[in-house]
Structure 1
Amino acid sequence: MKVVLFCGGMGMRLRDYSETIPKPMVCVGHRPILWNVMKYYAHFGHTEFILCLGYRADSIKNYFLNYTECLSNDFTLTNGGKDLHLYHNDISDWTITFADTGITTNIGQRLRAVQKYLGDDEVFLANYSDGLTDFHLPTMIDFFTESQKTACFMSVRPNQSFHIVNVAESGLVNSITGLERSDIWVNGGYFILRRNIFDYIKDGDELVNEPFRRLIDKKELLTYRYDGFWMSMDTFKDKQHLDDLYAKGTTPWEVWSTVGA
Structure 2
Amino acid sequence: MKVVLFCGGQGMRLRDYSEKIPKPMVQLGYRPILWNIMRYYAHYGHKDFILCLGHKADYIKKYFVNYDETISNDFVFEDGGKAINMLKTDISDWRITFLDTGINANIGMRLMQVKEHLKGEEMFLANYSDGLADLNLNAMIEWFVEQEDKVASFVAYQPTQSFHVVKKQDNGIVQSISHIGSAGLFINAGFFVFRREIFDHMEWGDELVSEPFQRLIAQKKLVSWEHNGFWASMDTYKDKQVLDDAYAKGDAPWEVWREKMG
TM-score range, shorter chain: over 0.9
Matched, 1:126 2:137: no
Gaps spanning 5+ residues in structure 1: where? none
Q: What SS does the corresponding residue of 1:96 show, helix, strand or coil?
A: strand
- The equivalent of 2:13 in structure 1 is 13
Q: What SS does the corresponding residue of 1:34 show, helix, strand or coil?
A: helix
- The equivalent of 1:211 in structure 2 is 212
- The equivalent of 2:235 in structure 1 is 234
Letter in 1 for 2:151: T
- The equivalent of 1:200 in structure 2 is 201
Q: Is the 8 A contact 2:112 2:204 kept in 1?
A: no
Distance 2:72 2:182 in 1: 37
**Residues 80-89 or 246-255, more deviating:** 80-89
- The equivalent of 2:86 in structure 1 is 86
Q: What SS does the corresponding residue of 1:154 show, helix, strand or coil?
A: strand
1:228 Cα offset (Å):
0.7
Distance 1:11 1:160 in 2: 20
What's the TM-score, normalizing by structure 1?
A: 0.96
* Number of corresponding residues: 261
Distance 1:259 1:244 in 2: 23
Distance 2:189 2:38 in 1: 16
Distance 2:252 2:52 in 1: 26
1:170 Cα offset (Å):
6.8
- The equivalent of 2:257 in structure 1 is 256
List aligned pairs for 1:1-261, cutoff 5 A. Answer: 1-148=1-148, 149-167=150-168, 171=172, 173=174, 175-258=176-259
Distance 2:170 2:15 in 1: 39
Distance 1:166 1:21 in 2: 40
Distance 2:104 2:79 in 1: 50
1:92 Cα offset (Å):
0.5
Q: What SS does the corresponding residue of 1:216 show, helix, strand or coil?
A: helix
Letter in 2 for 1:255: V
1:258 Cα offset (Å):
3.8
1:166 Cα offset (Å):
3.6
Instruction: From the superposition, tell whether residues 215 and 29 of structure 1 become closer, same or farther in structure 2 (CA, over 3 Å).
Output: same
Letter in 1 for 2:12: M
1:119 Cα offset (Å):
2.2
Q: What SS does the corresponding residue of 1:147 show, helix, strand or coil?
A: coil
**Residues 33-42 or 165-174, more deviating:** 165-174
Give deviations 1:126-154, integer Å, cap 9, x for gaps: 00010000011010101100001111111
1:158 Cα offset (Å):
1.7
Distance 2:175 2:12 in 1: 36
Letter in 2 for 1:205: D
What's the TM-score, normalizing by structure 2?
A: 0.95
**Residues 249-258 or 161-170, more deviating:** 161-170
Q: Is the 8 A contact 2:2 2:48 kept in 1?
A: yes
Distance 1:54 1:170 in 2: 44
Letter in 1 for 2:127: N
Alignment RMSD (CA, Å)? 1.7
Gaps spanning 5+ residues in structure 2: where? none
Distance 2:170 2:118 in 1: 52
1:62 Cα offset (Å):
0.3
Q: Is the 8 A contact 1:123 1:195 kept in 2?
A: yes
